[in-house]
Amino acid sequence: MNLKEAFQAQNKISALINYINVYLSDTDNIMTVTEKHLKSKALAGQADESVDASRKSEDNYDVHKMLMAWKALSAERSNLIAAISAAKRGIDFDFDAAVEENKNRRSFIAVLRNMATLKSSHVLQKNKGMDYVFNNEGNQVSYKYDIDKIKTIDYDRNEVRAMLRDLKKEADEVSLKIDAALLNTEVNYEPKIDLIEDNDLILEELTK
């Protein structure tokens, strides 16, 4: 498989492990609750009754099997991570650093795009202001007045646009390198689990 497929497999295994973590963290799934209805104590001649009051998930997996499934998936993920790390070492650039740096570039590009669209403006807000004065009788009275709200950008929009253009070009070029590495880098890994199946089927297979 190539590096892109390996990352997809890693995500799938991680999702399965997370599901098991959540499943086993729910005490309803790992405990059986039995209610003993002591009818004979209340009324002679009545038989006591045991009622299963458990509230387990519909999946109702065997706990021991889920523990074993977690171990199998954890070992599978460890092998896959090792294979991915080995494959990355064969790439002629630092793959992880390139991905992280491009993530930062894309985030800042969004900031620059917003800055590039902003314009100075003003809005006249009618009768939004209020103050007080003394009238001829010496009484304090209020009066209202208009407010001209002015917004002015504190930067050169042309500078921002130029930076946006250069950064987008750089990010696109790095993205092409990353995409090529994802498709062309082979990962020496053969899954022991059929990861093509959906998560429910994989868990059913692991917990047989």
How far from 191 is each of 54, 133, 188, 196, CA to CA, in Å? 36, 82, 10, 10
- Distance from the Cα of residue 137 to its chain's centroid: 67
For residue 115 the two structure tokens come to 């800055």
Q: Is the pTM of this model over 0.85?
A: no
Which residue shows structure tokens 């089927």? 201
Q: What is the pLDDT of residue 92?
A: 95
Pick from 73, 78, 1, 63: nearest CA to 26: 63
Average model confidence (pLDDT) across the chain: 91
Q: Are 14 and 194 in contact (CB under 8 A)?
A: no
Q: In this structure, which long-range contacts are made by residues 78-84, counting pairs with CB atoms below 8 Å and at least 24 apart in sequence?
A: 79/189, 80/6, 80/9, 80/10, 80/13, 80/187, 80/189, 80/191, 81/10, 83/6, 83/187, 83/188, 83/189, 84/3, 84/6, 84/7, 84/10, 84/187, 84/189
- In this predicted model, what pLDDT tens digit does every residue of 107-135 receive, in sequence order? 999 999 999 999 999 999 999 999 999 99
Question: Taking Cα atoms as reference points, which of 176, 181, 170, 165 lies closest to residue 105?
Answer: 170
pLDDT per residue as tens digits for the range 125-181: 999 999 999 998 889 999 899 999 999 999 999 999 999 999 999 999 999 999 999
Beta strands in 24-80 (DSSP E): 34-37, 49-52
Residue-level pLDDT at 125: 92
